Amino acid sequence: MTIVVVGAGPAGVNAAVTAARAGKDVLLIDSAARIGGQYHRQSFRAKEIRVAHERVRHLPDTTVWAIEDNRLHLTGSRVVTAEKLILATGAYDRTLPFPGWDLPGVYTAGAAQAMAKGQGIALGRNVIVAGTGPFLLPVASSLLDVGAKVRVFEANSPSHRWLREPTALFAGRRKLLELTRYAKVARHYRERTAVIAAHGDDRVREVTVAELDDNWNPLRQKRIAVDAVCVGYGFVPQLELAIAAGCRLSDGFVAVDEQQRTSVPWIFAAGEITGVGGADLAADEGVIAGAAAAGVQLGLTVDRRFADALTRVYAVKDGWKSWLTDDTIICRCERVTRHRLQEATGRGATATRAVKLASRAGLGPCQGRICGATVADLLDLDPTTFARRPIATPIPLGDLAANPVEEQ
């Protein structure tokens, strides 16, 4: 019997190594070819990370597409039985829609970072990074490193807002020092500003940039020329496996105790699916989860004060809804406009399933990963209802039909 860790980012890798050091056999499953997850994927530091423990077996390019009791169904018609399961599935970029966000040349901040750091390619010569959160800074920094002209628009006003979080500031002082790495971004950086529309026929040529009030309602606006826009409004936790396994959620994340135990006794969770807090916190949670799954008490707890303050300082404010027009695309996969979504609610659809089927939002290949949070916000629905995906990732019907092979 094995401890299975799903996700090889900072949380999963630390969980795997900790459990292995405690004498357990660990299977570390990740959808990417190399370990590191979203955080290290884009970084040259990925080379430095090794899971150098003989008891950890790394299963790359593998996705868990279903959980059935303690049986995990893997892509490639494989199945594995887990004694203990540690979910470290992480989070992905959140984007907000605005008129023109579906034009070529508009990217997620994560995609821009991957191109710049991973391949040394800037997405344009004249790039705007817009959104909210500290992640905008490394993205901008990477783009500057590869020679792009960069402007950063942070929709919140963290420089003022942090002053109301003295405890969290102290708790996160090490993290804040790290931000000095991005000092070169400072003179290209503006707060209370957002890209509220993108313009162009074949691709983005110009954007409308607006000063925002506290609630993100646009004040003064102007149009400026750009080649590319990178948008990041925080992160959405990847919850489908936790939901399929029956783990209790709390405030949109997997609920865990101090030992990273979920409500399902044999399942642990670590990293961004338990609350977005960055790579260091995720790594610490991974250590605790790995130890707890192996039955070892470390006596460690994580300090979530800084992470909790991050969600307050960089909260998404309702004013973004005023950026939309009737024909703004909400769901890119199915090209569902706001008008179509309103038509669905006009028919009386209120429950998530009915809204999806009446509007087709969230029914395309991404299964609501991109638009789920948006639709939930617009219609006041629980965003985690969009993460119910019993089939967590698309698989060929032929693979589903085949007799699965037991992964040892």
Q: Which residues bind another protein (CB under 8 A)?
A: 66, 68, 71, 73, 244, 246, 334, 343-344, 346-351, 353-354, 357-358, 360, 363, 365, 367, 389-391, 394-398, 400-401
CA distances to 19, 201, 204, 391 from 33, in Å:
22, 37, 32, 21
Q: Which is nearer to another protein, 113 or 385 (CB)?
A: 385
Min dist. Cβ of residue 305 to another protein (A)? 37
* Shortest separation between residue 335's beta carbon and another protein, angstroms: 11
User: What's the start-to-end Cα distance of the chain, in Å?
Assistant: 9
- Shortest CB 341 distance to another protein, Å: 13
DSSP state of 115: I
How many residues appear in the chain? 408
C-alpha to C-alpha distance for 155 and 151, rounded to whole angstroms:
13
Minimum distance from residue 73 beta carbon to another protein (Å): 6
CB of 57: closest distance to another protein in angstroms? Answer: 23
- The H or E element containing residue 194 is strand 193-199
Nearer to another protein, 255 or 354 (CB): 354
Nearest alpha-carbon partner for 271 in 297, 245, 242, 294: 242
Q: Both tokens of residue 56?
A: 């950890």
CA distance 78 to 64: 9
State how far the Cα of 37 lies from the Cα of 32, in Å rounded to an integer.
Answer: 8
Q: Which is nearer to another protein, 85 or 344 (CB)?
A: 344
Pick the closer one to another protein by CB: 121 or 400: 400
Instruction: Round to whole Å and give the CA distance between 70 and 133.
Output: 37
Question: Nearer Cβ to another protein, position 265 or 398?
Answer: 398
Minimum gap (Å) between residue 244 Cβ and another protein: 7
Integer Rg of the chain from CA? 21
- Among residues 197, 211, 234, 216, the alpha carbon closest in space to that of 106 is found at 197
Shortest separation between residue 111's beta carbon and another protein, angstroms: 21
* C-beta closer to another protein: residue 24 or 369: 369
Q: Which is nearer to another protein, 147 or 396 (CB)?
A: 396
Smallest distance from the beta carbon of 83 to another protein, in angstroms?
20
Instruction: Report which DSSP code applies to 261.
Output: B
Distance CA 186, CA 214 (A): 21
* 161 versus 332: smaller Cβ distance to another protein: 332
The CB-of-110 to another protein minimum distance in angstroms stands at 23
Bridge partners (DSSP) of residue 286 are none
What lies within 8 Å, CB to CB, of 353 at 6+ separation is: none
Q: Report the residue number, 194 or 344, with the smaller CB distance to another protein.
A: 344
Counting Cα atoms < 13 Å in the Cβ hemisphere of 77 gives: 10
